[in-house]
Structure 1
């Protein structure tokens, strides 16, 4: 049988030492004497203060509105105030070549009296100094800049803008053209020019593809005219001083002789006239153009090999009219009405479109 150990009660001094040691240990422990689950509950309560149903609903609305704002901004539906010096107006080629001074004065007066009612459109670009490129609103941007330069008022230091995210540069150019077509119609030369430059920059596969994309809502006849002026820009754009003043009818005549091979002779005549200082006005430039145009219009093109020999102009019979250019017009009729057949090596879709337009004007007269 094991010998039992005799237990004796600690003395008063020993008890004092034990109590002092216990106090030192427990005072250094946080939440001493509190169960772990109680500590977790207390911390959760401190982190989440109680709130009523109205406050919770307001927070939910704020989250929803913030999400809607982010979505609208991403889609370019939020109007922002952007400093004028942060916008590059020539970040992409512009369709409009000239600004009418009288129209600009009217626009500035309107903005000064009523403010800018329609924001411009920009797109973000990788440029630290000018991070926004202009899509549409060139006239409005210039007007606000002129007002700021004149008045130095802070309200003209920024401009209202919608920040767009075009999927491609072609989308931005199309938006610019559509805006100008609606608000201030472009000339045919400006339309042709923007189509050619867009194709040259690789935005569209060809000038014809650019015309079809940029002016998709235009009629077939109008697109045909734009292609004619695109040809003028391609072959003569570097020499013409007043191309935007070229009348539609005159431009179509120029395009027709360019297709017939008149480019070198037109360029030579323009160069000689400019050297003689005979090209100071649109009227003088047209005189130089028309000299070659008339020559080519009078000259008959060689007949295709094996084709009908060239004839003098006049009626062969009551149904057939021979033109000096080698084109033949034949009239006829059937159960549905009258017919006109056009034959000849020089006939193309552009000429047929022009003839249709002339007939439309003829039959629309009272």
Structure 2
């Protein structure tokens, strides 16, 4: 009788070698000779799931939704709620100067009753210590309205505002976005267009007014860009003297710019200071005689047909105060100047500062 051989359990290493050999044999097998059981097992593995079909479909939709959400967030298309105190409205030199009070009251009533329908746009500046955590690109009226509502409620309501966080790539692109938004929603005045271009040159964003107008108003016609260059000249020469500049219509702006090219800036400044105008009409009356005189005088061909570029002005970094006001020092061909920025700046505040400066200078 033959002796039975006792079987031994293979070691883990031997089992791995056996499995590897089987895989190699299957890979070398001609088409059609693959064991049917292998296909059956593979198919079962692919379709095996501990979840019901409806749950698997819901999980697939959730995954697709999450991918779309991440893509939208990356493009700045998802609005987020931002605290009002984290947003700086004047980090960019605003193109709009005057807010119509009747329109503002209507906007506040709409937001109070139905909420803000369109989020504002902001970006994260490279100098948050001066410009704030978020700098406003577009939505100045909406932000102002929500801040007023917050103040009326004593700070209890409207503490945040929905916003799109953009990545404009440059300050120039942010200015373009701001101007386009205002042009579409509530047209800028002629003077505000020119002021936006001149201020961008003054802030060092562009080398000259021609470059600023070409970029900021790139979709405007050639004739309109030419007019905006004239409006920019008015701001360069008379901007600090005109209290009702936005009341000037297009024809008045063009006549005034033509007169300025004849060298009447200084006499116009003196006339405005002496007039103490209390309305746009009175301000225009103070300038009209010089405009008419210039229209009767021959044009100096040496002055050309375009406004001059802004003179070089050195500016210090803005210093942000606890009350939200920012101040900066300027030095240029016309001397030194101190500028105040912020929603809390009022004529009374500036008058008080001027009075303190006067006392200081009288004591030196």
In which range does the TM-score fall when normalised by the shorter chain? 0.5 to 0.7
- 1:25 counterpart residue number: none
Q: SS state of the match for residue 200, structure 2?
A: helix
Deviation per residue, 1:238-265 (Å, 9 max, x gap): 2222211122211111111111222232
Residues 261 and 303 in structure 2, CA contact (< 8 A), matched pair in contact too: no
Find 1:294's aligned residue among 279, 292, 304. Answer: 292
- 1:30 counterpart residue number: none
Q: Where do 1:254-273 residues align within 5 Å?
A: 254-271=256-273, 273=274
Q: Give RMSD over aligned pairs.
A: 3.1
Evaluate the alpha carbon distance shift between residue 206 and residue 53 of structure 1 in structure 2; reply closer, same or farther with a 3 A threshold. Answer: farther
Q: How many residues align?
A: 264
Higher relative contact order (CA 8 A, sep 6+): 2
- 1:108 counterpart residue number: 108
Residues 95 and 193 in structure 2, CA contact (< 8 A), matched pair in contact too: yes
Evaluate the alpha carbon distance shift between residue 348 and residue 93 of structure 1 in structure 2; reply closer, same or farther with a 3 A threshold. Answer: closer
Shift of 1:181: 0.5
Q: SS state of the match for residue 95, structure 2?
A: coil
Report which stretch shifted further, 150-159 or 83-92. 150-159
Shift of 1:125: 2.5
Q: Where do 1:143-154 residues align within 5 Å?
A: 143-152=145-154
Evaluate the alpha carbon distance shift between residue 214 and residue 295 of structure 1 in structure 2; reply closer, same or farther with a 3 A threshold. Answer: same
Unmatched 5+ stretches in structure 2: 1-10, 14-48, 308-364
Cα distance in 1, alignment partners of residues 155 and 298 from structure 2: 65
Find 1:283's aligned residue among 281, 284, 287. Answer: 281
Shift of 1:286: 1.4
Cα distance in 2, alignment partners of residues 245 and 301 from structure 1: 27
Evaluate the alpha carbon distance shift between residue 348 and residue 131 of structure 1 in structure 2; reply closer, same or farther with a 3 A threshold. Answer: closer
Evaluate the alpha carbon distance shift between residue 262 and residue 117 of structure 1 in structure 2; reply closer, same or farther with a 3 A threshold. Answer: same
Evaluate the alpha carbon distance shift between residue 154 and residue 270 of structure 1 in structure 2; reply closer, same or farther with a 3 A threshold. Answer: closer
Evaluate the alpha carbon distance shift between residue 201 and residue 153 of structure 1 in structure 2; reply closer, same or farther with a 3 A threshold. Answer: closer
- 1:19 counterpart residue number: none
Shift of 1:282: 2.1
Q: SS state of the match for residue 80, structure 2?
A: strand
Shift of 1:111: 1.1
Cα distance in 1, alignment partners of residues 291 and 132 from structure 2: 46
- 1:335 counterpart residue number: none
Q: SS state of the match for residue 82, structure 1?
A: strand
| TM-score, with length taken from structure 2 | 0.65
Q: Where do 1:220-239 residues align within 5 Å?
A: 220-239=222-241
Cα distance in 1, alignment partners of residues 269 and 243 from structure 2: 12
Cα distance in 2, alignment partners of residues 138 and 94 from structure 1: 8
Deviation per residue, 1:269-302 (Å, 9 max, x gap): 333x15xxx4233222212211211222223357
- 1:164 counterpart residue number: 166
Cα distance in 1, alignment partners of residues 167 and 77 from structure 2: 11
Cα distance in 2, alignment partners of residues 214 and 51 from structure 1: 59
Shift of 1:220: 2.2
Q: SS state of the match for residue 93, structure 2?
A: coil
Cα distance in 1, alignment partners of residues 254 and 269 from structure 2: 17
Residues 259 and 291 in structure 2, CA contact (< 8 A), matched pair in contact too: yes
- 2:245 counterpart residue number: 243
- 2:357 counterpart residue number: none
Cα distance in 1, alignment partners of residues 163 and 252 from structure 2: 39
Residues 120 and 138 in structure 2, CA contact (< 8 A), matched pair in contact too: yes
Report which stretch shifted further, 153-162 or 58-67. 58-67
- 1:135 counterpart residue number: 137
Find 1:212's aligned residue among 192, 202, 214. Answer: 214
Cα distance in 1, alignment partners of residues 58 and 109 from structure 2: 44
Report which stretch shifted further, 124-133 or 248-257. 124-133
Find 1:195's aligned residue among 194, 197, 204. Answer: 197
- 2:7 counterpart residue number: none
Residues 82 and 161 in structure 2, CA contact (< 8 A), matched pair in contact too: yes
Cα distance in 2, alignment partners of residues 71 and 197 from structure 1: 36
Q: Where do 1:67-106 residues align within 5 Å?
A: 67-106=67-106
Q: Within the alignment, does 1:121 sit opposite 2:118 as a pair?
A: no
Computing the radius of gyration from Cα coordinates, the structure with the larger value is 1
Shift of 1:198: 1.1
